[in-house]
Structure 1
């Protein structure tokens, strides 16, 4: 992978998925849900983000309805990266495969840009929190 110079070369050089992960496409919906929850529950980053979001929502000076709306939006944004491709495949069937493959190749070749964008967003949000705390 270190010698790859294009996104396509990076995707082609990426290690193959383990056998159990290659069989994910054959999972039943219940097994997929269990796997997804298991991966979420054991990932400390995901679990801590959900816990911190819950604490922030509970401690915010908003009504119960507003808090519920924010919680629903948080869940929707968190689920969207999984739900959108799933619904796309359900709507388009086999015709979705080429687009999803191109997207996977692009993501594999541009993870550094995506990570930098994520860090930038987190930094801006933290800066906004600090500035608003100073103003208050």
Structure 2
């Protein structure tokens, strides 16, 4: 189980370091329904990771490891493909970054969070964690890695749980901070939001680039073995 957890920790960190979801949850916490919408968004985020990760576990587990208990060769090929996609995504993110001192534009839906219900916030959290291309790649990779270690189902669930908890730190820290500190957290959250909006492209590029390089390195090592 230790091997499975160790391999998924970097993938969970990659999910956690998602600037736009953090900005979204900070905006929700500052709205009139902040105390309900913030936690609802976090619950949706967790559900999205659990659902996608569980599907990946079931599919990869059905295929099974090799007779020697080692991950099947297809896992390395999947890692390689996901790594290449991650590098392409990093390049596109950096290419499309705002230049000339222009402030990055937020998605139009972020301007409507004041009117969100708890249900909408939950659905948005699930969508951003489970369907977002970067998170989808990382969660599928985590599920495949865990399943192909050949550990028992209970230990696989624990390893997936660790991945999900790490992946939830991004939106989770602002929610917990707001619930614990109340209005005292508003200034800190506002500064965090401003910084993440300004440096969104750089953060995303670095995170996706590092994760892509790791996936490719793991894939090459697996295929060589």
Q: TM-score, normalised by structure 2?
A: 0.47
> With CA pairs under 8 Å and 6+ residues apart, which has the higher RCO, 1 or 2?
2
Q: How does 1:116-127 map to 2 (within 5 A)?
A: 116-118=205-207, 119-127=209-217
Using a 3 Å threshold, how does the CA distance of structure 1 residues 26 and 92 change in structure 2: closer, same or farther? farther
- The Cα offsets for residues 41-79 of structure 1, whole Å up to 9 and x where unpaired, read as 543443343333223222222222321111001111222
The alignment status of 1:58 with 2:155, answered yes or no, reads no
Check 1:93–1:34 CA distance in 2 against 1; reply closer, same or farther (3 A cut). same
What residue number does 1:14 align with?
Answer: 104
Aligned residue in 2 for 1:86: 175
Residue 164 of structure 2 corresponds to: 75
2:177 and 2:185 in contact (8 A); partners too: yes
Cα drift, residue 112 of structure 1: 4.6
Distance in structure 1 (CA, Å) of the matches to 2:112 and 2:137: 29
How many pairs were matched up?
127
Q: CA deviation at 1:99?
A: 1.0
List gaps (5 residues or longer) in structure 1.
5-9
Distance 1:16 1:74, change over 3 A: closer
Q: Counterparts of 2:106 and 2:215 in 1: how far apart (Å)? A: 36
Q: Which runs of no fewer than 5 residues in structure 2 stay unpaired?
A: 1-97
Q: C-alpha distance in 2, partners of 1:69/1:113?
A: 33
1:37 aligns with 2:126: yes
- Where do 1:92-107 residues align within 5 Å? 92-107=181-196
Q: CA RMSD in A?
A: 2.7
Name 2:13's counterpart in structure 1. none
Deviation, 1:23, is 3.2
SS in 2 for 1:56: helix
Is contact 2:104–2:198 with CA below 8 Å preserved after alignment? Answer: no
